């Protein structure tokens, strides 16, 4: 069997789907496509996917929902969409996507992004390899990205990030977050945490050019992905 990475492309536009699959195939990947999230789930019963490229505007279940499900299963995903505004990018990253490409997508950049995410996944799964980590300097309230860019944190952001980074790779439940951050009202409290996380994602993306590696597990809590 071939050891080439297998990339699934979920895109309802047949021309775009075919073009992406064709280019990625020429770039050393195995590919298969699906026109909807529902069709993707059916094909996934027969075909493996090491990474999934997802269009946001899918018929039926939308791309954001699909990305969230993939994140829960630990499957890396990349979004591609015509929505170029920062709020949409933040929403995509909040949903669990690792990267966000705006259509028309440069195919060379997409292939490079896929290789980068697969390489990161391989490094994280191999203890003999190392990758520059995100670091938290509590004394100066600074979050330091792998590219050495610095995000200055508010006291509440520092508490939230500090809590998540203490258990890197492990789920921090909603209840645990509320208790650690001393928030009594459960429903309103977690809404405040989500709003705070969205603002921090925006600030991190604008300051460092990188997505904050915090994954939301729907209905359960948050995970800082080391």
Please report, for residues 119, 122, 142, 143, the alpha-carbon distance to residue 130 in angstroms, rounded to integers and kept in the order given: 11, 10, 22, 19
The mean per-residue pLDDT over the stretch 194-217 comes to 85
- Give CA angle at 117 (217, 21), nearest 5°: 105
Question: Which domains occur in the chain, in start order?
Answer: 6-125 (3.40.50.2300), 135-224 (1.10.10.10)
DSSP string, 191-209: HHHHHHHHHHHHHHHHHHS
Residues in the chain: 226
CA distances from 205 to 83, 210, 216, 225 (A): 16, 5, 17, 16
48: three-class secondary structure by DSSP = coil
3-state secondary structure of 98: coil
27: tokens are 């770039």
pLDDT, tens digit, 9 for 90 and up, residues 93-111: 888 888 888 888 899 989 9
- Average pLDDT for residues 117-123, to the nearest whole number? 74
Nearest C-alpha neighbor of 24 from the set 5, 48, 47, 44: 5
Whether residue 80 has pLDDT greater than 50? yes
User: CA 108 to CA 27: how far, in whole Å?
Assistant: 9
pLDDT for 19-46, tens place per residue?
A: 999 999 999 999 999 999 999 999 998 9
Query: For residue 168, what pLDDT is reported?
Result: 65
pLDDT at 129: 45
Tokens representing 194? Answer: 């989500």
How many CB atoms are closer than 10 A to CB 112?
12
Give the model's pLDDT for residue 131.
Answer: 53
């Amino acid at each position: 069997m071939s050891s080439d990475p297998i990339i699934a492309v979920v895109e309802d536009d047949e021309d775009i789907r075919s073009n992406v699959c064709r280019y990625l195939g020429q770039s050393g990947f195995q590919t298969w496509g699906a026109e909807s999230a529902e069709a993707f789930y059916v094909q996934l019963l027969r075909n493996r996917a090491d990474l999934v490229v997802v269009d946001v505007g899918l018929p039926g279940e939308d791309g954001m929902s699909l990305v969230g499900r993939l994140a829960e299963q630990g499957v890396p995903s990349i979004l591609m969409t015509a929505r170029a505004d920062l709020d949409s990018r933040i929403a995509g990253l909040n949903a669990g996507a690792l990267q966000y490409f705006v259509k028309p997508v440069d195919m060379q950049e997409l292939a490079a992004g896929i290789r980068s995410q697969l390489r990161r996944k391989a490094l994280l799964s191999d203890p003999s390899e190392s990758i520059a980590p995100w670091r938290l300097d509590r004394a100066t309230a600074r979050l330091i990205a792998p590219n050495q860019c610095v995000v200055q944190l508010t006291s509440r952001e520092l508490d939230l990030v500090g809590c998540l980074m203490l258990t890197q790779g492990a789920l921090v439940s909603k209840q645990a977050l509320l208790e650690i951050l001393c928030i009594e009202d459960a429903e309103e409290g977690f809404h405040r945490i989500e709003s705070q996380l969205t603002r921090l994602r925006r600030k991190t993306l604008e300051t460092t050019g990188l997505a904050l590696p915090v994954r939301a597990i729907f209905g359960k809590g948050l995970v800082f992905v080391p």
